[in-house]
Amino acid sequence: MNGGRQTAVGAFVLGGIVLALGAIVLFGNFNLFHPAVRASVVFRDSIAGLAVGAPVTFRGVRVGAVDSIKIEFDPQTAVALIP
């Protein structure tokens, strides 16, 4: 009789774990079915107004957001690139 109660409690705990993992996969930002494609664009001119998180559009359709902004300076050519 005690074995049935232990089985019910075990099934309840296992079900809770499965539901929690399912919620993490469904609502988390894992992109399991739509893997992210990263692109890098290099600017030589001013990028005034560009900020991390700003939307990236292609032909009027939002395709992503700005992830990071860096400055690379080549001291030999005195050229600053902004990828």
Q: What pLDDT digit, counting tens, does each position of 30-77 carry?
A: 666 677 778 888 777 778 888 898 998 889 999 888 888 888 888 888
Closest CA to 40 of 82, 80, 79: 82
What is the rounded CA–CA span in Å between residue 70 and residue 81? Answer: 8
Number of domains forming the structure of the chain: 2
Residues 83, 43 within the same domain = yes
Residues 32, 56 within the same domain = no
Residues 66, 32 within the same domain = no
Q: What is the pTM of this model?
A: 0.47
What was the pLDDT predicted at 19?
93
- At residue 2, φ and ψ (nearest 5 deg) are -70, -30
Residues 65, 28 within the same domain = no
Residues 30, 45 within the same domain = no
Mean pLDDT, residues 10-33 taken together? 83
Residues 8, 32 within the same domain = yes
Contact 57, 14 (CB under 8 A): no
pLDDT at 15 over 90: yes
What was the pLDDT predicted at 32?
66
